[in-house]
Amino acid sequence: MLYSRIVETYTEIEATTKRLEITRLLVELIDATPRSIIDKVVYLTQGKLYPDFLGIELGVAEKLLFRALAKVTGQTEEKIMAGYKKLGDLGTVAESLLKDKTQASFHREALTVEEVYNVFDTIAHEAGKGSIDSKLRHLTGLLGKASPTEARYITRMALGRLRLGVADMTILDALAISIGGGKESRPVLERAYNRSSDLGHVAKTLATGGIEAIESFKVTVGRPIRPMLAERLSDARAILVKMNGECAAEYKYDGLRVQAHVSTKEVTLFSRRLENITDQFPDVRQLLKKNIEEEAVILEGEAVPVDPSTGELLPFQLISQRRGRKYDLEKTIGEIPVAFFPFDLLYADTIDLTDRPYLERRERLRKLIRKNEKINLSQQKICNGPEALDEFMEQAVADGCEGLMIKSIGPDSTYKAGARGWTWIKYKREYKSEMQDSVDLAVVGAFAGRGRRGGAYGALLLAAYDKSDDVFRTVCKCGSGFTDEDLNKLPKLLEKYGISHPHARVDSKVVPDVWFVPGLVLEIVGAEVTLSPIHTCGMNRIRPGAGLAIRFPRFTGKYREDKSAEDCTTTDEVVKMYRAQLKKIAANPLAEAA
């Protein structure tokens, strides 16, 4: 097939904004394309050579194109650069320079689609020593054979800026009409696309196997599945109505969504946007390699940063620091390890599970994972009343999560790849607010450290003072903000307060490794005050059965040795802080919406 045939369609597409017209032009192009290269034509039209998830980019720098065009047209690089500055599109510059050279008068060997694709493919795989010269040679060769209009698109393509504006869905429409037997086949084609994220592959499957091959299209390990998305509600009753009275509630972890493709040969990790992120998470890769009991599996889960000394979940931002860091990745992994919480299973035992109901997928997932402290199924509870949902929500927030993911357990609970729907609903707290002030809290217990903090305390159990009952009620477990010096110092500082049982004036549902008489006071900052099923501060004051906790507490470095335990922040003050947060949100709901 001649490259000029594709370019003809590109020029016409550029001249219109009407989707129907673009579809018609694409149908004509597909009709004219030999089946054997349909995938290549689809990729080229999308301005790429492969599906995005392979991460293979052409990677030609502007400078190199200046050089190639200078060689082909006999103009100086400066003149080409000046033209580029003026027009803002190097493709147009290349076209007009080639026109000036009256290229048409030369004998020209016509470019084929295969040749253009193959040269680009060679350029994309070129790396290391001598690769720049080689890329230059290839580009010059290609542009030397190109007509002015072809040069426009070759130049744009090389820069990764083809930008025809053809949507994936328009290509699917055109495939349906041209090969699929009509527009009615569009939904099955879309289904195949959602299961492979690869339009070229879908086109090739259709072209070679017909619509039957598309109808029986299965997911494959190595090709990411477009993620299922959730709707959002903030009222437990409304959620239950949508779920027909009963649902599965899962912790909504505040981390990074990962789709893992695990085979005996390799583990590949994809982000929610389907980029290959395997290199950024060698620890997650290792976890999956070691703890999965099957040969070929596709699963989804959330990777969440954890405090290595306490195992507590940390804010999501800490994980995002990994992205883009190549050189000190190892150090970052040591300092901020992640835990992985699988929540769905899409393929296992050679079966495409996306059409199976949620409870079946979940049960298979449970059997598949060898759990340990770094990898465990998302926490889940079947709920059939708003109270149960709210109670589980408080527990989730107390455990460092941002809310719940509510999932249908009915017959409609298949995995809807690439779609947002009411069978998954996000249930987040309605507010999120920065804590205005620091608090001073009494140390009433401690937890033994793990890993790097072995032998020291990993976290402290902290309490506020309830003046009216003369009791200390717990409000958080804090393991952040301590320097190595603090960690060395704390056992000595606390030694004199140690006792073998909870102190009579300490009200705690949490059981630490060591108890203390309230004496030492520390200054703490946190993200916000939240309702909590496990802490006793302000118990029953806001809601029956719930206390208050400080989320993401961090030691400021200040030992309040000037304060006695009874001078620390009171439970009344914490209740006030919680109410002040709510008021702030009521005053400015948009700014504070979570």
Active-site residues, by number, are 252
Residue of minimal CB distance from ligand AMP? 257
Work out whether 230 is an interface residue with ligand AMP (CB under 6 A).
yes
Residues 313 and 374: their CA atoms lie apart, in Å, by 11
Q: Which of 71, 99, 186, 272 is in the footprint of ligand AMP by CB under 6 A?
A: 272
* 280 in contact with ligand AMP (CB under 6 A): no
CA distance 272 to 563: 49
405 binds ligand AMP (CB under 6 A): yes
Among 84, 117, 343, 497, binds ligand AMP (CB under 6 A): 343
Contact predicate 157/65, CB 8 Å: no
SS3 176: helix
Q: How many CA atoms lie within 13 A of 537 on its CB side?
A: 30
Closest distance to ligand AMP from the beta carbon of 333 (Å): 20
Decide whether 81 or 377 has the Cβ nearer to ligand AMP. Answer: 377
* Closest distance of CB 42 from ligand AMP, Å: 28
**378 sits near ligand AMP (criterion: CB under 6 A):** yes
270 binds ligand AMP (CB under 6 A): no
358 interacts with ligand AMP by CB under 6 A = no
Strands 514-516 and 498-499: antiparallel
Nearer to ligand AMP, 415 or 447 (CB): 415
| Nearest C-alpha neighbor of 41 from the set 90, 112, 99 | 112
Tell me 424's DSSP state: E
Instruction: Decide if residue 426 touches ligand AMP (CB under 6 A).
Output: yes
For residue 302, state whether it binds ligand AMP (rule: CB under 6 A).
yes
365 touching ligand AMP, by CB under 6 A: no
Instruction: Indicate the residue among 10 and 343 with the shorter CB distance to ligand AMP.
Output: 343
CB of 266 to ligand AMP, least distance (A): 23
Min CB(258)–ligand AMP separation in Å: 8
- Yes or no: say if 487 and 555 are a contact pair by the CB < 8 Å rule: no
- Give kind and range of the element (H or E) at residue 291: helix 282-291
Nearer to ligand AMP, 99 or 242 (CB): 242
391 or 507: whose CB is closer to ligand AMP? 391
Which residues are within 8 A (CB) of 134 and not within 5 positions of it... i.e. 6 or more apart?
126
CB of 555 to ligand AMP, least distance (A): 28
Q: Report the candidate in 404, 230, 251 with the shortest Cα–Cα distance to residue 313.
A: 251
Q: Give the separation between CA 427 and CA 419, rounded to whole angstroms.
A: 18
Give how many residues touch ligand AMP by CB under 6 A.
12
Least spacing, CB of residue 343 vs ligand AMP, in Å:
4
Q: Which is nearer to ligand AMP, 586 or 593 (CB)?
A: 593
Helix axes 19-31, 38-45, angle to 10 degrees: 150
Q: How far is the CB of 342 from ligand AMP (least distance, A)?
A: 9
Strands of the sheet with 420-428, listed across from one edge: 229-232, 420-428, 403-407, 247-252, 380-383
Q: Of residues 236-265, which lie at the interface with ligand AMP (CB under 6 A)?
A: 250-253, 257
Task: Tally helices (H) and strands (E) across the chain.
Answer: 21, 20
Q: Does 226 bind ligand AMP (CB under 6 A)?
A: no
CB 312 within 8 A of CB 336: no
Burial bucket for residue 109 (CB in 10 Å: 0-12, 13-18, 19+): exposed
Cβ proximity to ligand AMP: between 180 and 227 the closer is 227
Q: What is the Cα–Cα distance from 579 to 342, expressed in whole angstroms? A: 35
Residues that bind ligand AMP (CB under 6 A): 230, 250-253, 257, 272, 302, 343, 378, 405, 426
